[in-house]
Each structure stands twice: as structure tokens, then as C-alpha cells.
Structure 1
Amino acid sequence: MQQLYLLYVLCLVLSHATVCKIASAQPPAGYISWSPRNMNRTKLFCPIGCNYENDPEECCLCQARECWEIDPYSCSLALRVLHVEYTDINGTSRVLQIGSTVNETIYVLKHTDGYLTTFPTNLNEYRDIVKMDLSRNRIKQIAKLSFLNVLSVLVLDENLVTYISNDTFIGLMRLRQVSLAQNLIRYIEPSSFFTSEFSIFYVNISMNKLTDIDATLSMPLNEFCNIDVSKNNLANMINPTAYSFNKSEIHGPGKIFLDHNSLNFPNCTALGVSDWTDFGEYAQYNYELKPQTQLTCDCIIFYYFDKIKLSNLRRIWTDFDTLECSSPEHLAGKQLTTLYDEGNYDIFICNITIDCPRHCHCYDQPSRSNVVVDCEGKGLTNLPEGPLPVGFWGNQRLELRMKNNSITKIGATDYIDRIVSMDLTGNAISFIEDSAATAMRNDIELNLPDNKLQALPSHFIYLDPNKINTGNNVFLCSCEIVWIENWQYKLLGNKTGYLCSHNGKVMPVSEISLNLQCKMKNEDLFAKIIPASLVSIGICLLLLIVCLHFRFEIRIILARVSSRMSQAKIHNPKVFISLDESQEEIPLWVKNDVYPCLCRWGLITCIPCRNFLPGYRQETAYKSAIRECKAYIVILSKKYNQQDVSSTLEEENSTTNWTKTEFSYIWDECFNSGQTKLLIVVNFEQLRPGHFKDRRLRALCRVGNVLDFRQREEKMLTRIKNMLNISQQYQQPLQDSLSIVSCDEISDTVSERTTLVRRNEHRKNSFIRNSVVPMRLEAESIPMFEVTRRYPNPKADCVANTFFRPS
């Protein structure tokens, strides 16, 4: 009770006391509070008895009432009747109230059988009107009534309204019933009665002048009780706003009365239904037609019979078992159930006039998916000129009926490839153009009896002889039609073969080669060679593209196979190591671990940062040193091969700009020089192939001799030694004065590599100075230095260049 009291006080504070009073009303006896699905509608009460119906929702839609309609006194409402006073002879009026007014007063305005031409001018002074009945007046236009936000019932029967706009009822959120029967309405804008914001339960627009009904009214998404458009001049259901039927939503329920109209069966595809089966399953409407409705049973009814189950048809069309066709003439008076049971759906056709040849009859026959062009006996001398019509659902298949004309040939047309059947019986056809035969469908049906054919195009060998009927035509025997001998073997049943005449003698085509001594020609030779050639060319192009894309990978694999087959050991003890010197971790590892082991194995090692003095690196020296080596170790890191030499030539102390040049020379020596040389790649930072822009490095990472620190099955240096395959004569220890650890004991796994580098931090000395292990270099590997001297001269400076090699 305390909560109800607080709600009552809150309603008194609001400006619109009546609305709040209705909102606080308790359900009257025998009713329960109810709100429709998917709509923000409250303050409605449904009879308790609807809970026992098969469809309680549909029952409440038709029987729900507001409290003032059931018992105003139980809602503490005062219901007052308003009166109308005319202000001039033209039907202008104003509203009058008789009696006192309290805050809980609601109004009913009823003025029937009068002379009103417009709505009363002072309606906005009475905003609490819940029902308005202005039937049998002379109102021509419905005024904007959005200020009547509690209006529930609007009756305007037998007036002179001609047009309904889609904003006529905007703002009337509680409007449930609209009756506009017996007006002069000719057009209703889409979404006038049903939108996403409101829905009217009862719509009565019967006995008006409507000729079309749009999809938003005939197939609304919202729930409703009745839509009555009976006794109009309806012929079609249209979709001007491209309305789309959404099967994920429940459409309806509700009943739509369409009886006493001359209605064509609606084309569900044109109404936004992509699949007619969905319409039968998800549309919860009931269309009331009644036997008095004039129905046109054309091609559209085929899709109802073919796509929608009979049980759904009987649910959607409630009078389905008693409905009869009124047109076309050959179906007039036949019941739909009889036509459905007979299953002869070829009789459902729609006439087509667009692009139909003159004097011909064109129609759409959806049961066969054909567009029929019937020109029998029209005196044609040639096939009709295009274009020819297309079916209502975009069907392109053509069936031409051209019997008993004077057509002399079958030539190429712009629609020849659309023809699935053509009857040319009783014409004067003497030949068929090769271009027309080439364009024909392989499954075409041709009837050619009673013509003057002397031969068939050789392209007919690709057609089905069982669908080609030449009737009594006798060809001229020649070696050009020998192909028919094998073609006619495909004939099924008791069909006789083709005949030809020679010197007045008629013989089977199978005897031509014997009597005329024709050499059999393989007509299929080119037809078989050309496709095979195209396939071969395509495969070759594909292989070429693959080889071009993976050319480096292929070159690496071939080089590896060649070196494995030779199984040669390294007899030249020179090894070149290419690395990025900007990474502190890599030079330390090479200096303290890799280089001593290579020396222990008797190999001469060339390391750029050790063998070439800073500032005196020359490409010729690099190239010479790389050429003399027989094995190469490339240590990959993030910045390896990323900076071009040309961009850093001015930076004399650059440490990373020479790796691109080194790798290019190494690649040429390994894969372009024709000599067997070994390339070992150490993936120091576990990089993926996609990290490098150079396609050669990507190929090496994919299929090359790549050693990765993630591979824990062997020590890194042991794997390098195994891959080098060193000749036994070089495997001898160094001088006893050299103090290095055993190469087999050095651990180079990923987890231990960091520890190894930290252990060697105190030895971050240059390779050129303070090296632990002496460097063994041959004289030719020591770079040449250039010294420039200038001597004074009276005319010009004398310059002398001197080259020398340090000892």
C-alpha cells in the first residue's frame, strides 16, 4: 500500500495526471496485464480465458482492452463525452464540454451523421481523448493528431478521405483501432500502419478504391489482429520500398481479409521473399479470401504448389480447399485442391509482351523453366530477330515453336545459345550455318522433319543424336558426312539411322565410305589435340611460374644433391666467415669458440674484421679472399644483409655495410662458379625466412644447410665440423703454446649461449689487437695499401701512388 501511495503522489506531480492514473490501475476482475511481443505497449489487459487458447498471444491481440473500456470506475477514471459545435456553414467546428472536469477525466468524442469537413479546431485543448468517432461526415483529410497521445480508437467510416500518409498516425503510440471503411482511399503510403515504433491491432480500409496493396501492409513484421482490405479493386501486391522478408523474425500472427477483390496470386519473390519455402514456414498470417474472390491462376501459383507444403498452404490461405480459379479461361471454375492433386503444373503460365515478336504468343512456363515463343503458322521466312523475352524470374531458357512457316535456313542469332528446344517442322530449311551450330547448346532439342536439308554441320557430332529429329530428310551422299556413321551409333531404342542419296539411289549413311571409297577422317583430331595442348601449355606455365618463384630453392637443392653425390672432402683448408660485427654477441662467440676450433681442425680462417684493417676494405680484396676459400660460414642476425654498400661507402668505420657484398660474392662462388664449395648457415638468433628481404637468404633458411641453436641433439661446433667433412690430412693439433678448450666440450645451446657470452665479457678486445690465438694468413690474403705522395713542381703538383703490403 505504501508503494501505491508513493506512485500516486508521483503521478500527481506530473503534468499529465490522467496518463499516470491509468498506469497505476490494477487489472480489472477477469483480466491480466499484458504487453505484445516486440512492442513497447503497456496499460493493456487481456481476458484470463486467453490463457487456455491454443495461441494465447493471438487471442490477446484481438481481445485486449484498456482499463477505461472495461470498467472506468475500477480505474478511478471519469469518462466524459465531448460535443461538437459548428462555427460556420462550411463544416468548421469546435469541441464543447458539458459538466465539470477533474484531473482524472478522460474523453470520448463522438459526432456521426454530421457535416464536418475538417477536424474540430480546438482539439489540442482536450489531449486526454481516448476514443474519437467521426463517422458519416465529409472529412477529406486526416489532421495531424500526434498531441492525442492517449488516443486508442479512431473511427472515420464513410467520409471522403482519399489518401493516407505514412506520418498520419505518427506519435499515436497507444492507437489500437483505426477504421476507414467506405471512404475514397486510392493510395496508402508504405509503413503507414506498421513501423518499428508502433503497430495498430485493427485496421479496416474495406470498401475503398485501392487497386494495389504494398508489402508493409500485406506482409507486416509486427503482430496484429485484423487487416481488412476486402471489397476494394485490388489486383496486385506490390513492393515499392524493396521490403525484405526476414526469416529470422516472426511475421505475424494476424488475419488479412482480401475477399471480394480481383486478385492475382502475389509474387513472393517480388515481395522480398528469397526462398518461397521460408514464406510457408515463417509467415504466421492467415489470408481470408472466401470463394467470392476472383483469383487469377497464372505462373505464380506454380511456386506456391512447388515450394510450399500443402499444410502450410491451408494455414496461410484459410479457404484454400474451397477457392476456385476465375481466370485464365482454361482454368476457370477449377478448385485449387484439384489442380494441386493432378500435378499438371505446365498449365500455369504468364503471358509476356515485352520483346515478344510480332504476331507471336510468348509466355513464361516455370514448371519447365522455359520461356515459350509460339510463332506457328505466322508466315516467317527467317528466325525472329532478337532480343527475345526473359522470364519473370530471370529465366533465359527459350522454347521456339516455329512449325509451318517458310524459314529457309538456321542462322546465327544473339539468342541461339539460349534455345533448349526448337520445332521447325514443315519449313523450307536447306542448310544450317556452321556458326549457328557452334553456338547451340549441347542438350538442344531440334525437330526438323519436312524440310529440305541436304547435310548437317560437322559440329553436330557434339550434340545428342537422340534429341535431333530430321524425320524424312534424305541427305546428299558425300565424304563430308561420313562422321554421321559413328555419330548415329549413339541412337537409343529402335531409331533408324540417317539416309542419303547418290545417283538416285538411297543408302544408309553407314555405306558411304564403302561405296564412295572415302578415307575416314578423324574429325575429332583437332578437337582432342587443342584441349590437350592447352592443358599442356597451362601446366608448363604453372611449372615455369613455380620454378621462377622458387628458383633459389631449386638451385640450392641441386647443388646439395651434386655435392652429396661427389662426397668430396675439403682439401683446401681455407674457410671464410661472414658475420654482422655490430652485434657484440656474435663476434665474441666467433672469436672465443668458433675460430679456435677451426684452427684446431687445421683450417685457415678468413674473418673480415680480423684480416682487413679498418678503413682499407676494398671489393677486390674481398672478392679475392672469398674466391680462394672452399667453405663459407654465414652467421645470420637481424641486421645481416640489410644495409647496402652504396648507402654507406662514405662511412669508413661502418661494420655492417659489407655483409651484403660478402654474401653476394659467397653466393656466386657457391652456385655460379661451377665449383663444388660448401656453404654453412648458422641461424644465430632463430630468425624466420620472412625476416629477410633477400630471396636468396629466404631460400637458404628454408632448404639450405642451416644450423639452428634450437636444435639440441648435437653441439653446434660438432655439427659444423661434421658438415665441413674435413680431409684427414688437415686434422692435426695446433702448436702446444695455444691454450684453447676442447671443441667437443663447448656447449652452444640457446639457454647456455647467454652464459657463454657473459663469461667472455672480460675479453671484448678487437680481433686485430690482443688476440688469444695467432692468425695464420697467406701473403696474398694480406690487403694492399696505397700511399699518395705529392712533389712540388713549377707547373703543377706531381702525384705519385705507391702500393705496398705489410709483412
Structure 2
Amino acid sequence: KGDITFGHLYRPWNDTANPNRTNLFCPSDCDQQYATYIHREDGCCRCRMKPAWELDLTDVEFLNVEYRRRRGTAFIILIEQLMNYKYQILIHTYGFLSKIPENVCDFAQKLVKLDLSGNGITNFESISCLTNLDTLLLARNKILHVKNETFFGLSMLRVLDLSNNDIKVLEPNTLSDTSLFLHSANFRQNQMKTIDITNAVIENPFCKIDYSDNKITDFTNEVSFQINPDKIYGDGGYIDLADNVFQTWINFTDLGFPDLNYFGKVVSYGFDLRRANWTCDCKMQPFLEKVKPYLGKIWRDYYNITCTEPPELSGVSIADMSMKNKLDNFICNISVTSGCPLGCHCYEQPSERRTVVNCTGVGLTTMPSKLPAFSNIELLLENNLIHELGDIEYLTQLKKLEINNNPLRKISSALAKRIKYNVDISLNCTNLEKIPITFKQLDQHRVKLGVCNITCDCSSKWVKEWISAKSDNSNHNELYCKASGGNIPIISFNFDALDCAVDQFLIYIAIALALFLIILSVCMFVLYNYRYELVLILKNPTIGRENMVSMLYDIYIVVNENNDEALLWTKTVLTHKLKRLGYNTYFPFRDYIFGDLREEQIIQMLSKSRDVIVLLTSEFNLNEENLNTLYANLEWRHAWNNFKTNSSERNLIVINFDQLKAGDFDVSPLKAFLRLKMTLDFADRSHSLMGDLLARIGPPSRVNKKPIYKQTNGYYNNLNILHYLSKCK
């Protein structure tokens, strides 16, 4: 039938994007027009094709509507129920339907077109069953909201018309689902104020999506869309956004385009943005700079958008300015609240990669206290009353500084240190006596000093050398040295006639003194922060002392009695082992005489003890007011003082019971013990704790105590007891 009726005008067409469609026909003239451009031929077919039922109505059944209630509820009915048509179409326009007929799903198998334009339908959520629906026309109804699952699964839907409704919300991803293959979608003349980027950046090919004549002011990105640079989106067609109320240019970065190059690379269709209230400013410039090379080659009428603001650009074609290299006009004014000094004109100009702060002739007596938070600032301060250039933080932001025609008398030496090397500086130094030597670190080719009459002495010799290095010899005749016989060009001034050697000697003295003070400061810092380490290195508690005197106690044991594990080990192991080896020990937990003043007894017993063993636990680093902690810290302080004053006979041994680190303590003797690794490790896997301990405390001092080991050449053969003591931990 097709070959006879319309075969000479249309041919069957397979949509490569949606190969399941088998009832579409392409105009034959698309073949003739784009015979050598298959890609364009496909686009022509897609946008001009017709389905089979529009070319031949003999196989189409038209359905009817029967109202069941006055409020607009209706059902679809068949008139000729005996006929078996291939396609079904329902057209019921300008009625009073309040919703889509309730039994529409009963006709899902053959229904290809549903035209209910001009009714009172407010929602249409019940159409997901219409899997063969090709055309859905719901223009001029009362629809307010379109959900993103409304068209899900309608892979045959090709034409959608929701124009002239009251739609305020079109949810994200309503049109971008990959199961949709829409050729056209019409949302013209609705009430939308924003459009989500997912409803404008669509993967499948389309012809036109119309959002014109709404109230759209901006794009949104509610689902954090990010462009995929490896895909091609749209493949032809365009999106009509004309006659909306856009003002500020689109921020493509916020819409998922981190690089503007992606936009032209992957979005293969156009946007009509005409007849909006566009403000032509710096936000528009980066985009126009990217598309400028292509505007002349791929010109479309809808590219010709015009400016509304600022007034001087009203009605001017944006594309025309771009193609004529007038992007300098696209600037953003910066307000006082954004850092522009009062009375100045500040603006950002991306085409020149600069921000201008123009304070020319506004009566300033000092430099501005702050500038906008931008880089590459050009600060123009000409024709003011500024007497001094000071050191201000924003100097690091400058690209250019112009301060001509100001009565400058002083320039801070720190100014040149803060300014970047390649900054352009222009000033007049007529009233200056000195030019700071810090200017020597600036690029002399970028500094214009104007006419200067300076005092030339030994400290000014560098100026002559500095400007002499200029390759173009510019400004030489503008710098003069004051002299009794008149001003002399600095190039001709004889600095060798000045006795600068003395001054040079003083400079060397000052440098040497400064170095001495720095070294002294470093030494003082080291001595203060490492004073305890120095004491330990000199007195070396890791070597046992020879027993030259006899004292009442060989060893005083310090344990914080709040630590039950350390206390138990000392009572059951340490004191017993030392006793068997012939040592007389004083252990406060065991030997303290109740009734005596605790501090006096600590001092007295430490004075009668030769060596001190400290079990270092975490309680030594606490600042709590617990008595046991206070007494343990008191014992430690007196033991440390005794060790410092008489380390040749007394020794101080620290056992790291809780495996503490140097970082657990502030500057203190305990920190020094840990830092120098002069403690004994309680958890030593070699089981040598008691052997190492005996090597540090020396032999017993009391003659009536006979140890079970033998002394040989000042060292102790403790091999016989190591097996016995190996379980001490």
C-alpha cells in the first residue's frame, strides 16, 4: 500500500537512535538535498518525517469520549467495534475534561495519538501504560506540575505539546531519560521561572524543544549534573528559550561544565536566547571568547541576541561585538561592599585579564585601606594628595601601580618587598629625598620614577648601578643628584669621590652583629629547650657508679601508688629480687612511718639513699591533685636534684613501665630521659631488664649483705641469675 500511495514522496526510514520504530517515513527530497551528507540526511528525516497513519488513514480508527460526570470524568468508547484497525487515535479538543479518560490503558496496544488540547486537565500521571503512543497533545489545559517519571518508558513518544498551560515546575530529568526519543517537545507560554540543565542537555537526538515565552530567569542544577566529555549530546536541533526574562549570563561551571570547551565539543545543537533582558558584563565574556572563532562559520539567526544593560550597550548585538573583537566592553562593576574604595570606580575586565581600581583625582590623602579580593589589579592613584606609600597587604595583588602627580615624600622600604617583581610602577619622585634600596629587587624596565632630585650619598650609589642596567637607557636624564653647584644627572655623578669605604665597613659590622645575635638566639633556644638533655649527657645515668661511700639504703624506689600494676610488680618482684642480691631498699609503700610529715620523711630518706629507681607511669604526666600523684612527683623532683648535685656517687634509673613517649611530656627531665633513650624498657623482649638494672646501680654498699653474684673488673657477671629473674616482668 505504501509503495502505491506515497512511495514516490516518502520512503521508509529507520531511526538509528530508536531502531524499534518501523512505521516512520522520510520525505524523498531529504535524499536529494543531502545525498552526500548522511548525518544531515538523518537530521532532515527526523524533523520532517511522518508516521504511517498520517500518510494513510484507511487503517486508522478514531475513538470517542463519553462523559460520566459533570466534573469532567470520561471514558473512551468504540463506535465500530467489529472492525480491526491497526492504529487508534483519540481527538477530543476544547471540551471540559478534568483528567485523561480513566480507561485509556485499555487502548494502549493501538493508541498512537492522543489530542486532548483545550480542556481542563490538571494532571496526567496515568499515561505510563501507553507504550505505543507517538503523539501527546495537551496544549491549553491547566497542568501545573510535570513529574520526572511521567514519561518514563514511553520509548515511542515522538511529539509532545504542553504549551499554554500553567506549568511552574518541570522536574529534573523529565526529558533526559535515555528511554525517551522525543523529536519535539513544546512547553511554550507556561509559568516556569527556572529550567534544570538536565531538561536542556539531552543525549538522544531531537529537533526542537520549546521553552519560549515563559518567565525563566536562570538555569538550575538540582541533581548535580556533570557533562561527560566522551559523549555527543543532542546531535542536531535547537532549544528555544526566546522571550524569557534572563538577565545574568549563564554560569556554566555551576551547571556541570567545568571547562567551557566541553560545551562546544559535546553539545551538538543550538540555543535561542533572543529577546531577554541581558546584562552584557564580564560573566558573558569568557563564553564569547570561546565561540568567537565559530560564529561566522555556523551563523544562525537565533545567535543574534542583544544587550539590555548597561545603557551604553542597549540594543547592541552581542555576537556582532564578539566577531568585531569588542570584548573589552564586557566588564563587571565592583561595588563598595565588595571592596571598591569609596569614590573610586572598580571593574573586572576578563578580556584584559585584569581588575581596575580607578581612583584618579578623587582627593585621596592616603593609600586605600583595602581593595577588592581579585588578582592582577591595576591601581590608578594619579592626581591625588598622597604623601606616603606604605606597606599594605594588598600590594601582592597588584599588576600595575600608577601614582603620578602626587606630593610623595616617603616610600616605605617594605613596599618593594611585597610588590611582585614584574609589576608596572609609575610615580613622580619630585619631593623624595631617598629611593628605598628595596626598589633594587624590582624590574627596572617596568619602573618609571619621573623627574627626581635626590640626595646622593653612599646609600644612593645603588640607584646609578640599577638604572644603568636598563637596556634602553630610558629615564637616565630624569634622575638628578642635588649638589651645591646645581643638580647633576645621576649617571654623571662621581660616587667614587665619596668616602663610602667607612660606610661599607659599618655595614659589615652590622651584618656580623646580626649573625652573632641570630646564632646566640639559636644557642639560647637550644640550651633552654634541651637543658635537661645536656645534663644527662654529661652525667650519663646509664653507667653504674662505684660504691665509694656506705649509706643506710642502697636504693630508694619511687612508684605512684595510684598505678596498681606498677605497685604490685614492685612489691612482689622488684624488692624481693634486690633483697636476695644483697641490696637494702627503701620502698615508701612498705617502709613509710605513719605519723611523720610525709615530705620531711621523703627528703630524709632520699638523703640516706645512694641510688633511686623510678617506675615511670602515665600518672607522672597528670596535673591532678591526688595525694599519691603529688607525693610521687615530689619524690621525683628531690631525686633529680640529688642526682644533679652528686651524680658521681648517686645514680638515677628510670624504668619505662607504661611505654611512654617523649611527646607525652613537656620540657622536663623525664622528657629528656625518653628522648635520649636512657630509660630501661619494662617490656624488653630480650628479658634483660634486671641485668641492665644491676649494671646501673652498682654493688651493694653494706658489707654485711653478701650478693649472690661476683664482681669482675667493675662489671657484674649476672648470667647465673638471669634465668631466675627472667620472669620478673
TM-score w.r.t. length of structure 2 = 0.63
Confirm or deny: 8 A CA contact 2:73 2:101 kept in the other structure: no
Contact 1:82 1:95 in 2 (8 A): no
Aligned mates of 2:217, 2:470 — CA distance in 1: 50
User: Aligned AA for 1:576?
Assistant: I
Deviations 1:67-100 (CA, angstroms, capped at 9, x unpaired): xx999xxxxxx99642246999x99795541248
TM superposition shift of 1:716: 4.8
Query: Does the alignment pair 1:562 with 2:539?
Result: yes
Structure 1 residue 252 displacement after superposition: 6.6
Q: Where does the alignment leave 5 or more consecutive residues of structure 2 unmatched? A: 1-12, 25-37, 54-58, 307-312, 711-716
Partner SS state of residue 273, structure 1: coil
Task: Tell me if the contact between 2:285 and 2:327 (Cα under 8 Å) persists in the aligned partners.
Answer: no
Contact 2:91 2:114 in 1 (8 A): yes
Q: Could you tell me whether the CA contact under 8 Å between 2:176 and 2:203 is conserved in 1? A: no
Residue 174 of structure 1 aligns to which amino acid in structure 2? G
| Contact persistence 1:204–1:229 (CA under 8 A) | yes
Q: Is the 8 A contact 1:350 1:365 kept in 2?
A: yes
Distance 1:589 1:299, change over 3 A: closer
Aligned length: 639
State whether structure 2 residue 718 is matched by structure 1 residue 744: yes
- What is the deviation of 1:627? 0.8
Structure-2 change in CA distance of 1:437 and 1:128 (3 Å):
farther
Match of residue 548, structure 2, among 552, 571, 583: 571
User: Could you tell me which residue of structure 2 aligns to residue 665 of structure 1?
Assistant: 638
**What is the aligned partner in structure 1 of residue 448 from structure 2?**
469
What does residue range 641-660 of structure 1 map to in structure 2 within 5 Å? 647=627, 659=632
**Map of 2:353 onto structure 1:** 369
SS state of the match for residue 267, structure 2? strand
1:126 to 99, 104, 112: 104
Contact 2:616-2:655 within 8 A present in 1 as well = yes
2:488 to 469, 494, 507: 507
Structure 1 letter corresponding to 2:488: M
- Describe the shift of the 1:87–1:543 C-alpha distance in structure 2 as closer, same or farther (beyond 3 A): farther
Task: Find the residue that maps to 2:124 and give its secondary structure.
Answer: coil
CA shift in 2, pair 1:540/1:423, >3 Å = closer
How far apart in 2 are the matches of 1:739 and 1:591? Answer: 14
**In structure 1, distance between residues paired with 2:522 and 2:144:** 65
Q: Equivalents in 2 of 1:231, 1:187: separation in Å?
A: 11
SS in 2 for 1:226: coil
Q: 3-state SS of the aligned residue for 1:83?
A: strand
CA separation in 1, counterparts of 2:366 and 2:238? 42
Query: Counterpart in 2 of 1:288?
Result: 270
Distance 1:454 1:639 in 2: 70
Tell me the distance in 2 between the aligned counterparts of 1:272 and 1:521. Answer: 68
- Residue of structure 1 equivalent to 2:63: 82
Query: Could you tell me how far 1:578 is from its partner in structure 2?
Result: 0.7
Amino acid in the other structure paired with 1:687: Q
Is 1:214 matched up with 2:186?
no
1:388, 1:591 → 2: CA distance? 73
**Amino acid of the residue matched to residue 354 of structure 2?**
N
Whole-angstrom CA distance in 1 between matches of 2:533 and 2:363: 72
Q: Report the CA distance between 1:566 and its aligned residue.
A: 12
Pick aligned residue for 2:171 from 191, 208, 212: 191
Pairs within 5 Å for 1:541-620? 544=525, 554-562=531-539, 569-574=546-551, 575-578=554-557, 583-599=567-583, 605-608=585-588, 618-620=598-600
Query: How far off is 1:676 after superposition?
Result: 5.8
Aligned to 1:688: 660
What corresponds to 2:91 in structure 1?
111
Conservation of the 8 A alpha-carbon contact between 1:689 and 1:697: no
Q: Which amino acid aligns with 1:719?
A: D
Q: 1:488-525: per-residue Cα shift (whole Å, max 9, x none)? A: 245343334233386895531245676997989989x9
CA contact (8 A) 1:214 1:239 kept: yes
Structure 1 pair 187–250 and aligned structure 2 pair: CA distance change class (3 A): farther
Query: Shift in Å at residue 362 of structure 1?
Result: 7.5
The C-alpha deviation readout for 1:28-65, integer Å capped at 9, x for no partner, is xx999x999xxxxxxx947799xxxxx99xx9xx99xx
When the two structures are superposed, what TM-score results if normalisation uses the length of structure 1?
0.58
For residue 493 of structure 1, give the secondary structure of its aligned residue in structure 2: coil
Offset from partner CA, 1:240-295 (integer Å, 9 cap, x none): 456644367977743463378779985422534344466677xx432236999999
Tell me if the contact between 1:475 and 1:500 (Cα under 8 Å) persists in the aligned partners. Answer: yes
In structure 2, which of residues 679, 685, 689 is the aligned counterpart of residue 706 of structure 1?
Answer: 679
The aligned residue for residue 257 of structure 1 is 237
RMSD over equivalenced CA pairs, Å: 6.7
> Which string of whole-angstrom CA distances, capped at 9 and with x for unpartnered residues, describes residues 290-320 of structure 1?
9999999986686469889x9xx99xx9x96
User: What's 2:123 paired with?
Assistant: 144
Q: Deviations over 1:534-586 (max 9, x none)?
A: 99889959985x877x66xx425413413589997331233223165965554
How far off its partner does 1:370 sit?
0.9
Give me the whole-angstrom Cα distance separating, in 1, the residues matched to 2:228 and 2:153: 27
C-alpha distance in structure 1 between counterparts of 2:64 and 2:168, whole Å: 31
Q: Which residue identity does 1:467 align to in structure 2?
A: R
* Structure 1 residues 588 and 321: CA distance shift in structure 2, 3 A: same
Task: Judge conservation of contact 2:409–2:433 (CA < 8 Å) in 1.
Answer: yes
Map of 1:779 onto structure 2: none
Mapping of residues 414-433 of structure 1, within 5 Å: 417=395, 419-421=398-400, 429=406, 431=408
Partner of 1:621: 601
CA distance, structure 2, for counterparts of residue 753 and residue 627 of structure 1: 32
Counterpart AA for 1:285:
V
Between stretches 636-645 and 701-710, larger displacement belongs to 636-645
TM-fit CA distance, 1:179: 4.5
The separation in 1 between residues aligned to 2:679 and 2:662, in whole angstroms, is 15
Between the aligned residues of both structures, percent identity stands at 15
Q: In structure 1, what is the Cα distance between the partners aligned to 2:631 and 2:585?
A: 18
- C-alpha spacing 1:697/1:270, structure 2 compared with 1 (3 Å): closer
Report the CA distance shift for 1:608/1:175 in structure 2 as closer, same or farther (over 3 A): same
Q: Give 1:150 shift.
A: 1.4
How far did residue 687 of structure 1 move?
3.3
Letter in 1 for 2:205: C
1:786 is matched with: none
2:330 maps to 350
Aligned letter for 1:571?
M
State the distance in 2 between where 1:108 and 1:155 align. 12
Deviation at 1:464, TM superposition (A): 3.3
Secondary structure of residue in 1 paired with 2:331: strand
Instruction: Give the partner amino acid of 2:604.
Output: S
Q: How does 1:708-727 map to 2 (within 5 A)?
A: 708=681, 711=684, 716-724=689-697
Among 423, 432, 436, the alignment partner of 1:444 is: 423
CA distance 1:569–1:484, shift in 2 (3 Å): same
Q: Does residue 1:491 correspond to 2:470, yes or no?
A: yes
Structure 1 residue runs of 5 or longer lacking an equivalent are 1-29, 37-43, 50-54, 64-68, 72-77, 340-344, 649-655, 758-807
Compared CA separation, residues 643 and 595, structure 1 to 2 (3 A)? farther
